[in-house]
Structure 1
Amino acid sequence: MPAHKRQNTNEPKHENKHRLTRRGVLRIGGGLAATAAVGGGAAIVMSGGDNADAAPTPTATPTATATAAFAHPGMLHAYGELNRAKVRVAAKSQPWLAGWERLTANSHSQSTWRPNPRATIVRGGTGQNYATLYNDIHAAYQNALRWKIAGTKANGDTARDILNAWSATLTTVTGNADRFLAAGIYGYQFANAAELMRGYDGFDLARFQKMLIDVFYPLNNQFLTGHNDACITNYWANWDLCNMNSILAIGILCDDRAKYDQAVDYFKNGAGNGSIKNAVPFVYESQGLAQWQESGRDQGHTMMGIGQLGAFCEMAWSQGDDLYGYDDSRFMKAAQYVAKYNLGQEVTFTKYSWRSGQGAGKYNEQTVIAAQDRDQLRPVWDVLHYHYARRRRLSVPFITTMAEKVRAEGGGGQYGPNSGGYDQLGFGTLLYAK
C-alpha cells in the first residue's frame, strides 16, 4: 500500500455533520415549487422563482431516495439556478449582470459559430486535433446558456446544431494515454451542454446519448477499472476525476442509474486517486484544512482538480446527493487549503509518496508544496463559495477571498488559448450567485 495511504489517520468520528441535500433545500428554501414531467411521466420537484436565493437551515433533511427519477435539468445547472440567473440578468442586478457580460463577450457564445465535427478525435501523440472538439463544446454550452437565460432562439439553434453535428459524425476518441483525459473532460462537458438543450426543437437527444455511451463511456470505464494498465497510484487525481465526472454526467443525461451510482461509489470507495480519501490524503482537523493530492506537483493542476471535484459535487447535488459535505466536509477543507496557499499564505504539507509505472512501480515522494502556477486564476471558486458560504452558511474565508479575486468568472476562451483554458466550463458567478 502506498505510504500516503498509510499515513492518514484522520478518520472522521461521524460521516457528515453538515448533511444537507437539494431535495431538502427545496422543501425549506422559500422559493416557488414546480412539478415537471420526466421521461414517461415520472414527476420531479424543482425549485423555482428568484427566492431560490433563500438560505437553508441546518435542520433540513434529505427527501431523495436511491430510486428517485433523475431531475432535469440536473447537472451543473438545475432549474433554480437557471431561473435565478434569468430573473437577475433581466433586472440588471449584480453580480449576475457582470457574469452575463462575460458570457456575451466570449466569441464562443455567438450565434454565428459554426460546428467543425470530426469522425475521429486525437489527443496525445501524432495527429492531435482535439482543439476542434473542445472549442465546439464550449460554443454549444455557451450558446445553450444564452438561450436558457435570455431566450434567444438564434443561440438555441446554434447550440442544437453543434450538438447534432457531432453526434452525427464522431465515432472515435483516441491517442496516447491522454485519450482518457479527452474522454473524461469532454464527455462531461458535452453532456452538460446537451442537458441544457434537452427538449429543444430539433435536438436529437437519443443520438447524442448513443454517442456518449458508445464513444466516451467505454474509455471512462476502462480508465477507472484498469488505469491504462498502470499501478493504481500512477495517475494524478485529475485523471480519475474527469472520468468520474463523465460517467456521472452520462448517467444523468441518459437516465442511467447504474452509471450514476458507479461514479458516486468511486468517489466514496474507489482505489484510484480520484476517490475522496485519496484525492485528499491528509486532514488537518484543528486547522479546518486538508491537503490536496496534487499540491506537491503544481498549483495549476491542483486548481484543476478542485474544479473537477467541485463540478462532480454540484452535479450530484442537483440530483439530491450531498457529496460536498461527505466525510465531514473533507472536500471543503481541501478547497480551503488550496485557496489559502494560492492567496500567498503558508500551509502545512505532509510528505506525499506514491508509486508510478506498471507492476509494483517506482517509488516517488514529494516533501514540499509546489509553488509553480501559484498565481494562476481559474473559474472554479464561485460554485464553492456560494455552496458553502450561502447554501450552508459556513465560514470559508479562503474560498470566499479566492472567489472575489476571480469574479466575475468567465469561461472557455477567456483563460488562455490552450486546452488548460478549457478545462472548466466556467461562468460560476452568473449561475451560482445568491
Structure 2
Amino acid sequence: MTDGSPVTEGPGSADGGGASGRGGFVHPGVLVSRPQLDFVQGKIQAGEQPWKAAYEQMIKSPYASLERVPRPRAVVECGSHSNPDYGCHDEREDAIAAYTDALAWYLSKDERYAAKAIEIMDAWSGRVAKHTNSNAPLQTGWAGSVWPRAAELIRHTYNKWHDADRFATMLRTVYLPQVINGSNANGNWELSMMEAAVGISVFLDDRSAYDKSVVRYLNRVRAYIYLKSDGEFPKTVPGGGTQSRSDIVKYWQGQSTFVDGLAQETCRDFVHTGYGLSAISHVAETSRIQGRDLYPQVGERLRQALGLHSRYQRGEGVPPWLCNGRVNLGLGPVTEVGFNAMSSRLGAAMPNTQALTEQQRPAGSNNLFVAWETLTHARNPS
C-alpha cells in the first residue's frame, strides 16, 4: 500500500475581499464573511425563507439568551466520551453561545448581543489555562473551531472589545499548541483539530500556522474519504503507520469493499462521520474566503461522501457489502455548507444531499461545533 503523493503545497494568497491583517488574511473570515452575512441580512429583512425561519430559530434558542452566565474553568478535563466532564460541556456551550451572539449582533445590530459575546469570551480568556485527560485534543478542537468564528465577527465589526488581545493570547497559548500537530486517532479528530487550527491562524494572522494546518488537512481528507481514482485501497495518512491491507481494513472499521464517498468512519457510525464531513466543509469555506480555494482538491470527495451518507440517512436499504448490511445513523445538521458549495455555487448534481438538507431545514446545532448553517449558508452565493 502507498500514501500516494502527500500534499506539500506552499502558501496561498488572499483575494483582498475584506479587511486584511498582517498575514494578508481577510477579516472577518472564519467560516462566514461580511458579504455572506450581508446577503443573509437582506433575506431576513425581506422575510424570505429559509433564512427568516432560521434566524428565528437561532434568536429563540438558549444560546442567544441575554441572561446567559458563562462558566469558565482554569482546567478543562475531558475523558473519553467526556467522562469525566469537568468543564467540557460548559466550554462547548459557551463557545457556541458566543458565536450565536456574534451572528445575532451582526444581523440585528443590537449591541446587547455583541456585549454578551464579549462577556462570554472575556470570561474564558481570563481563566482557562489548559485541557487535560484523553479527550483533550478533541475537546480543544471542538471549542477551538467555534471561538474564532465569534471572535472574528466581534473584533472586525464592533469597536468596543477591549480585551481582544487577551483572547488572542488564549487561542495562541492554550488552544493552538494542542491542535496544530494533529492526531493519529480516527479521522474526525484530526479534521476537527485542523478546523480549529485554521480558524485560530486566521484570527491570529499567523500565515505559518495556517499553511501548516492546510497541508495536514488536505492529506487527512484524502485519507478520510475514498474515491475510485485512489486505487484498490484508500489513501493513508503520511507517517500514520497504516500500510498493509489488513491494517487499512481494520482502520476502516472492518470495511473491505470501497466505493466513491465511503468514509473511514462510515461503519463506525454516521455521527462521527458527520463530524469529519462538517470539519472538511468548514475548512474549505474558510480557505475560500481567504483566497485559497480548496474545493478543486476536496470538493469531489466531499460531494460523494455527502451523497452516499445522505442516501442511507434518508432510509435507503443498506446493501450487505456495506458495514455488514447495517449502519448506525445520525449524520446531524452537517450537509448545508458542503451542499451550498458544491451544488448551489458550482452547480453539481446532489439530489440525495439536497433532499436531506431541505428536509432538515432550518438546521440548528449539534451542540458541539455546528450551529445555524441554514441561516449562514443556504443558497448563499457570496
- TM-score class, shorter-chain normalisation, is 0.7 to 0.9
**In 1, Cα distance between the equivalents of 2:340 and 2:192?**
22
- Alignment map for 1:253-402 (pairs within 5 Å): 253-269=203-219, 275-283=220-228, 289-326=260-297, 329-346=300-317, 368=324, 370-372=326-328, 374=329, 376=330, 378-402=332-356
Relative to structure 1, the CA distance from residue 316 to residue 350 in structure 2 (aligned partners, 3 Å threshold; closer, same or farther) is farther
Q: 2:53 aligns with which of 98, 115, 135?
A: 98
Q: Is the 8 A contact 1:339 1:402 kept in 2?
A: yes
Aligned to 2:249: none
Amino acid at match of 1:197: I
Q: 1:407 aligns with which of 349, 357, 361?
A: 361
Q: CA deviation at 1:397?
A: 0.9
Aligned to 2:146: 189
Relative to structure 1, the CA distance from residue 371 to residue 384 in structure 2 (aligned partners, 3 Å threshold; closer, same or farther) is same
Amino acid at match of 1:131: H
> Helix, strand or coil for the counterpart of 1:187?
helix
**In 2, Cα distance between the equivalents of 1:348 and 1:262?**
40
Aligned to 1:360: none
**In 1, Cα distance between the equivalents of 2:200 and 2:150?**
12
Residue 133 in structure 1 maps to residue 91 in structure 2: yes
> Helix, strand or coil for the counterpart of 2:261?
strand
Aligned to 2:168: 209
Q: 1:423 aligns with which of 353, 365, 368?
A: 368
Relative to structure 1, the CA distance from residue 293 to residue 249 in structure 2 (aligned partners, 3 Å threshold; closer, same or farther) is same
Q: Is the 8 A contact 2:299 2:342 kept in 1?
A: no
Relative to structure 1, the CA distance from residue 149 to residue 178 in structure 2 (aligned partners, 3 Å threshold; closer, same or farther) is same
Q: CA deviation at 1:321?
A: 2.0
Relative to structure 1, the CA distance from residue 293 to residue 87 in structure 2 (aligned partners, 3 Å threshold; closer, same or farther) is same
Amino acid at match of 1:368: N
**In 2, Cα distance between the equivalents of 1:110 and 1:251?**
29
Aligned to 2:255: none
**In 2, Cα distance between the equivalents of 1:310 and 1:72?**
19
Q: CA deviation at 1:349?
A: 8.4
Q: 1:219 aligns with which of 178, 187, 190?
A: 178
**In 1, Cα distance between the equivalents of 2:95 and 2:313?**
29
Relative to structure 1, the CA distance from residue 126 to residue 304 in structure 2 (aligned partners, 3 Å threshold; closer, same or farther) is closer
Which is richer in helix?
A: 2
TM-score (norm 2): 0.82
Relative to structure 1, the CA distance from residue 255 to residue 349 in structure 2 (aligned partners, 3 Å threshold; closer, same or farther) is farther
> Helix, strand or coil for the counterpart of 1:122?
strand
**In 2, Cα distance between the equivalents of 1:282 and 1:168?**
46
Structure 1 runs not aligned, ≥5 long = 12-20, 24-33, 41-67, 270-274, 352-366, 412-420
Q: Which moved more, 1:73-82 or 1:329-338?
A: 329-338
Amino acid at match of 2:151: A
Aligned to 1:114: 69
Q: Which moved more, 1:383-392 or 1:195-204?
A: 195-204
**1:139-186: CA deviations, max 9, x gaps?**
1111111001010111110001111111111111112x2111111111
Aligned to 2:102: 144
**In 2, Cα distance between the equivalents of 1:239 and 1:342?**
22
Q: CA deviation at 1:278?
A: 0.9
Relative to structure 1, the CA distance from residue 213 to residue 35 in structure 2 (aligned partners, 3 Å threshold; closer, same or farther) is closer
Q: Is the 8 A contact 1:381 1:399 kept in 2?
A: yes
Q: Is the 8 A contact 2:66 2:116 kept in 1?
A: yes
Q: What is the RMSD computed on CA atoms of the aligned residues? A: 2.7
Amino acid at match of 1:343: R
Number of residue pairs aligned between Structure 1 and Structure 2 = 340
> Helix, strand or coil for the counterpart of 1:383?
helix
**In 2, Cα distance between the equivalents of 1:167 and 1:243?**
19
**In 2, Cα distance between the equivalents of 1:349 and 1:327?**
28
Residue 77 in structure 1 maps to residue 32 in structure 2: yes
Q: Is the 8 A contact 1:310 1:384 kept in 2?
A: yes
**1:249-277: CA deviations, max 9, x gaps?**
111010001111111101223xxxxx122
Q: Is the 8 A contact 2:92 2:142 kept in 1?
A: no
Q: Is the 8 A contact 1:99 1:427 kept in 2?
A: yes
**In 1, Cα distance between the equivalents of 2:223 and 2:305?**
12
Q: CA deviation at 1:319?
A: 1.0
> Helix, strand or coil for the counterpart of 2:27?
coil
**In 2, Cα distance between the equivalents of 1:219 and 1:333?**
31
**1:215-246: CA deviations, max 9, x gaps?**
11111134x2xx4xxxx4xx211111111111
Counting aligned pairs with the same residue, the percent is 27
Q: Is the 8 A contact 2:198 2:209 kept in 1?
A: yes
Aligned to 1:248: 198
Q: Is the 8 A contact 1:325 1:332 kept in 2?
A: no
Amino acid at match of 1:260: Y
Q: Is the 8 A contact 1:282 1:350 kept in 2?
A: no
Amino acid at match of 2:168: Q
TM-score (norm 1): 0.72
